[in-house]
Amino acid sequence: METVRRIVITTLTLGAFGGVGGVLWLLVAPGEKRRLEMSKNYPEANPATLAEVRKRNELVLQVIKEAAETNENVSRKSPWK
């Protein structure tokens, strides 16, 4: 009987903490308007920044491709270019 009592108390305690956590989450989480406002400030929302990131990614992929096509250990090259 003591084991059942401990299980019930533990379950109720965990449920209470989960409920408090859920309520706190609802109080702290931003609303729909705030989320939309925040999404406008992401770097991906700016076309110039997005183009710059794409160009940088293309350059990185080009360097990786060149490194893969050679047998030389490019990480030991000095200075890195």
Long-range contacts of 43-48 (CB under 8 A, 24+ apart): none
What residue numbers bound the domain in which 10 lies?
1-30
Rounded to two decimals, what is the model's pTM? 0.44
Place of tokens 């990480």: 75
Residues 80, 41: one domain?
A: yes
pLDDT digits (tens, 9 = 90+) for 40-69: 777 777 888 889 989 999 999 998 898 888
Residues 24, 50: one domain?
A: no
Residues 42, 20: one domain?
A: no
Residues 18, 44: one domain?
A: no
**Helix extents (H) in 1-81:** 2-28, 32-39, 47-69
pLDDT digits (tens, 9 = 90+) for 9-33: 999 999 999 999 999 999 998 888 8
